[in-house]
Structure formats: structure tokens, C-alpha cells
Structure 1
Amino acid sequence: MTKEKPTGPTTTTPLHAVLTRRADAETCADPSSVMTLLGESDGTPGGFTSYRSSFAEGAAGAPAHFHTKASELFFVLSGSLRVLVGEEITTLGEGDFLAVPPRTPHAFAAAPGAEADVLFVFTPGLGRFDYLRLLGRVMRGEADPKEIAESADRFDNHYVDSPVWRAALEGSA
């Protein structure tokens, strides 16, 4: 019996550990939340982006959108987060985990009357920290909102209309 030898290159790219100390983590703030940028390793196999968002009571998060390449993972550290997945709205509480696969419309906000502290992970990452910085600049009036629309493909963030989500937000106002 003969064993076949692999043809072509057999080299692998080593993965590198990412460590961010609390004191060194960059923060981005907007009127509704504070985001702590934890780690990013885009462009590599197993790449990811991870950040933590602390939402003020009842604060809006992201409007309805989807990602074509990335899965978005949510872990509620404390508080309560209202989430749209497809056409269904659910509320996540402390310790709840949610994974949203690519091409699935979703949105999120702190639940009415509640704050929320949430860990987000995207895989693959795609340099998403630059997107979060852009969002902060737009919300503070330092950048034009059209920059967000123009960056949809770069950051794999595609906004969609969701009558279900709009109605839920209007109902809690």
C-alpha cells in the first residue's frame, strides 16, 4: 500500500494570541453607549473583532442590518438587551448568548427601562474597529452619515428596513 504525498505548499500561517489589558483598551463613546475595543485579528484564518458595549437605559443600538461574511455573537454581561433576528424580537438577559449567522437581518437596543452591558464578537473581523470609530464620529457630528453607507462593503455592514423593528422601537418610546 502506498501513501500519497500532498502536492503543493504545506505551509501554515501561525495564529497569534491577542491580549488587551483593561487599562490599554481604547474606548469610543456616542450618546447612547460606550464601546471598549478589546481585540481584533482581521485578515487571518480565525480572525475576529471583539468589543464591549455599555448601553444607557433604553438606548438604541444598531438599526436593522446584516453581514454577508461575518457571524455576530452577543453575550449579555449584565442588564437586558432587546434583539431583532429575522422578523422575531426577543429579549436577552444577563448570561444569555446569541449567535447570528451571516445574511440574517438583526438589530439591538437596551430593553425598555434597562441598561445593557454586552460582549460582541464578529468572526471574521474585517477591521471593524474603524467602523466603530466612524459611527462615533457620525453620532457626534464630526463626520457625514453618508460615509457609513459608503463603507457597507468594506465593513460588511448592510442596513435594511425592518417594519417589525421600527414598530418595536416606536412602541417603547
Structure 2
Amino acid sequence: MIPESALFALVGWGIVPGVEIRDGVVLVREGQAERVGAPEAVISLLADSGAASVNRSRFVGREGGAPPHFHRLASEMFFVVGGVLEVLVGEEVVSLRGGDFLSVPPGVPHAFGAAEGEEADVLCVFTPGVGRFEYYRLLERVRVGEAGVGEIARSGERFDNYYVDSPVWTGRGR
């Protein structure tokens, strides 16, 4: 249970999502989460600290999601809240449905998005966190034309995100 004093601090001080309240406790209400993305991929930014980066992503069809990449430092975990999520893990594509969980360790190439004709609602957790919200904001700036795609490539080390080629994933029409 969250102490009343922590809730008061959250409401009374206008604390924004991802800010530690007390003793590392983070509380983010549904309406408070910053959202980035387009209609086919909306990402709600929930928490971003040294311990973990957490977001909830909603993908529609094969337009949303992430291309093949890997992380040198972070494990990336997926919990499917609803729908069907396709995930490339190494050289295999697996389908995850509501209630399924997948953890991808550092160094393993992966990609993800909703299955064709489906939607996917996914809780994503990275550990350790590396200030990943700035990466999502960069993607948003590229999407709306305020930054160039080259900035994404140059940000790999900063955000522990390294893109790779995958004929398996590309061959699926992504």
C-alpha cells in the first residue's frame, strides 16, 4: 500500500511520471503518463531510472513496433496485456498473446510489432535503465520531421540500442 503522504506529494506537488517520490517508489497514474508516437504505435512512458525503464506500448498492425536491434547492457522484457505481439528472438519469430511474458537478454537481436491484422498492448521493461525516455522522444522528433534519421544511428551507445539486419524479420513484410 502506498502511504498517504506519498500520494499527497504526487498530487500536491504536481510530480511528473518517473520521478522518485520516496525510497525509490514510483507511482504513475494512467492519465499522467507522457505519450509519444503515431496512431499505429503509441508509447506511454511510465518510469525511467537507473534500475529500469518501463513503458506501455500499443501497436496496431505491422506499422508499429521496433526493427531488429540489440542491447549490450539491458535485458528487455515483454508482458503482453492483450492482443498478439510478434517478436524476433535471434533468428526465430515467436507470437505472444495476452498473459505471455518474454525476456530477451543483452546481446540477442530482437524486433517486435503487432501481428498482421492484430493489435498488441505490451508492457516493456528494460533493466538496467539508461534514460531511455529521451530515445523515445528522439524517435518522436524524427517522426514529425524535427530531427533526422541519422540522429537515431548516432545515439546507439547513449541509449544502448544497436540496429542490425535480419532477413528473417524483413522477409515477414515489415
Q: TM above 0.5, one fold?
A: yes
Question: Which of 76, 80, 85 is matched with 1:81 structurally?
Answer: 85
- Residue of structure 2 in register with 1:141 after alignment: 145
With normalisation by structure 1, the TM-score equals: 0.84
- Residue of structure 2 in register with 1:56 after alignment: 60
Deviation (angstroms), 1:23: 2.0
- Note closer, same or farther for the CA distance 1:15–1:122 as it changes in structure 2 (3 Å cut): farther
Report which stretch shifted further, 19-28 or 69-78: 19-28
Which secondary structure state, in structure 2, belongs to the residue aligned with residue 58 of structure 1? Answer: helix
Report which stretch shifted further, 20-29 or 127-136: 20-29
Misfit runs of 4+, over 3 Å = none
Larger gyration radius, structure 1 or structure 2: 1
Which secondary structure state, in structure 1, belongs to the residue aligned with residue 28 of structure 2? Answer: coil
Question: Which of 53, 70, 79 is matched with 2:74 structurally?
Answer: 70
- Residue of structure 2 in register with 1:19 after alignment: 27
CA contact (8 A) 1:53 1:119 kept: yes
Within 5 Å, give how 1:19-168 maps onto structure 2.
Answer: 19-42=27-50, 47-168=51-172
| Count of equivalent residues | 153
Structure 2 letter corresponding to 1:40: D
With normalisation by structure 2, the TM-score equals: 0.84
Summarize deviations over 1:51-73 as a string: whole Å, max 9, x none.
Answer: 00111133331000000000000
